[in-house]
Amino acid sequence: MTTVPKAPASAAALDVIAIGNAIVDVMAPADDALIERLGMARGGMTLIDTARAHELYAAMGPAREISGGSAANTLAGLAALGAKCAFIGQVADDQLGEVFAHDIRSGGIAFATPSRPVNAQAGDPPTARCLIFVSPDGQRTMNTYLGACQFLPPAAVDEDAIASARVLYLEGYLWDPEEPRQAMRRAIAAARGAGREVAFTLSDSFVIARHGDDFRALIADGQIDILFANEHELAALTGVEDFHEGLASLHGKVPTVVVTRGEKGAHAFRGGEHAVVPAEPVTRVIDTTGAGDLFAAGFLFGHVRGASLEACLKLGAICAAEVISHYGARPEADLKALCAAVPG
């Protein structure tokens, strides 16, 4: 692993600043027959074009519109816990863009990225949306139209804001389009230059299939301080099917690694320390959308406050359990109250 020199870090004005997809989730319950009839991969996430977005939306039952996006969901959880946060992401100057901007700012998260104009003929698309079909068992089948998200320019990265945050949190989903990828590379350089930590979530196995070499290069160059993955993403990244062997293969390559395993709980290591926590009990799983996002929120909240590795995992498990107990990927219960009993 190449050692990347870091400047001495000054006091941070923000706890976490994140770069990610600015998406509005459109969610509706659906039975497996409908999912099969529409030719969707149950439980998966598929990128779709404008025509497919119209087709699927027409087939949905009564739906709810809830601001989403993986990194934005994580910030919503962090802000609900009391962290100071900011978000960088691209919306269009349209109704859903206004919904997203209102929702994130009303949660106490700074958001200053200028909106893009909408002009289909000029190639300026509307705000992104994710059409989510929720099965009776809570499994979600996601169909994402990225729209304006794909056009976040490097110029939108506020390097002063990056330098003012203790942690820069990056969403793997946004690595796919060229402009946002360059924006995130610029942000990583700004964070490293200011002596800040860089956290990265792998997002999905399909992202690793497309950009795994980039992610492995970031790891090899010492650019990532905290890596978030689920067990399937871990296998895709490392090429090792056995969970424990795959986890061990990252020792010495990333300072902190966090891997979730659904109902099997979560593992993390930091240096020579290894911690495991079980999943929090949930009376009924309603919708698993955002479980990983909120797990990251709880973990990062503990991390920026100097909590033990086990406490960070416990906070993550509590936040994930809250979000899967209702529709939507943003917390509805009082996360501060739920997490108050977790020791540091």
What confidence score (pLDDT) does residue 235 get?
97
Q: Range of 237's domain?
A: 14-339
Does residue 169 have a pLDDT over 80? yes
State pLDDT tens for residues 190-215. 999 999 999 999 999 999 999 999 99
Residue 1 exposed, middle or buried by CB count within 10 Å (0-12, 13-18, 19+): exposed
Domain assignment present for 4: no
- Residue 7: what pLDDT? 47
* Domain presence at residue 38: yes
pLDDT of 9 > 60? The answer is: no
Q: Tell me, yes or no, whether 57 lies in a domain.
A: yes
Q: What is the mean pLDDT of residues 281-298?
A: 92
Per-residue pLDDT, 338: 96
pLDDT at 305: 96
DSSP H stretches of helix in the chain: 32-37, 50-59, 70-81, 95-106, 159-163, 178-193, 205-220, 231-238, 243-248, 291-304, 309-323, 335-339
Helix, strand or coil, per DSSP, at residue 228: strand
**Residue 133 pLDDT greater than 90, yes or no:** yes
Q: What is the mean pLDDT of residues 308-329?
A: 94
For 41-80, the pLDDT digits (tens) are 998 889 899 889 889 989 999 998 888 899 999 999 999 9
Greater pLDDT, 204 or 287: 204
Instruction: Return the pLDDT at 4.
Output: 45
pLDDT at residue 66, rounded to an integer:
84
CA–CA dist 249, 237 (Å, integer): 10
pLDDT per residue as tens digits for the range 67-117: 889 999 999 999 999 999 999 999 999 988 999 999 999 999 999 999 999
Residue 243 counted as domain residue: yes
Residue 6 within any structural domain of the chain: no
Token representation of residue 163: 């330098």
* pLDDT at site 10: 63
- 124 band by pLDDT with thresholds 50, 70 and 90: confident
Which CATH number characterizes residue 23's domain? 3.40.1190.20
Total domains in the fold of the chain = 1
**Mean residue pLDDT across the chain:** 93
DSSP state of 332: -
| Beta bridge partner(s), residue 309 | none
Its sign, for the CA torsion 224, 293, 98, 151, is positive
Is residue 23, in this structure, part of any structural domain at all?
yes
* Residue 1, domain member (yes or no): no
Q: Which residue has the higher pLDDT, 42 or 6?
A: 42
pTM here is 0.89
Residue 287: band (very low, low, confident or very high) from pLDDT cuts 50, 70, 90 = confident
3 in any annotated domain? no
Q: Which residues pair with 197 in a beta bridge?
A: 167
